[in-house]
Amino acid sequence: MADTLQFELVSPERKLASVAALRVTIPGMSGDMTAMPNHAPFLTTLRPGVVRIEAAGETVEFVVTGGFAEVSRESATILAEQAVPRDAGAREMIADLIAATEKEFAAASDDLRQQIDQRLRDARHLGGILGA
């Protein structure tokens, strides 16, 4: 069994991380999950949250607004809607997400409001963590 899994974090603008990781915490739609080497394969959508990468004695965090994650026994890949290092513009990105989601909620039909409301609550919670 391998000691690491290959992790990639990609946003539409660029690749943000490519590293041999010990574990990666992913903000899945159903809750946070941790991918490790030899993990059972899965695919999930992401909610606004923090991706934590633990590799070679260091931990790095990125904030994502949503996207998808795919995990296999040897690798994990996140395709993020938006992603930035936690200490580089994350507050502004989440403040913008909250404002846009509030507008989307106000204009939404009744059948979409529950889904948008959940995304808004996730974004506000993350904003509180980040001090946005």
Q: Domain coordinates of the chain in residue numbers?
A: 5-85, 90-130
**pLDDT 10s digits, 38-74:** 999 999 999 999 999 999 889 999 999 999 999 999 9
Is residue 132 very low, low, confident or very high in pLDDT (cuts 50, 70, 90)?
low
d(CA 115, CA 63): 21
Which residue, 60, 8, 72, is CA-closest to 36?
Answer: 72
| Per-position DSSP letters for 3-66, written without gaps between them | S-EEEEEE-SS-EEEEEEESEEEEEETTEEEEE-TTPPPEEEEE-SEEEEEEETTEEEEEEE-S
* Rg value, the chain, Cα: 15
The pLDDT tens digits of the residues spanning 1-33 come to 479 999 999 999 999 999 999 999 999 988 999
Q: Is the confidence at residue 76, as pLDDT, over 70? A: yes
Which residue is associated with the tokens 């009744």?
Answer: 110
Local structure of 130: helix, strand or coil: helix
Question: Could you tell me which CATH number the domain at 5-85 has?
Answer: 2.60.15.10
Residue with tokens 């990609």: 10
The model's pTM is 0.86
Average pLDDT on 74-89 reads: 93
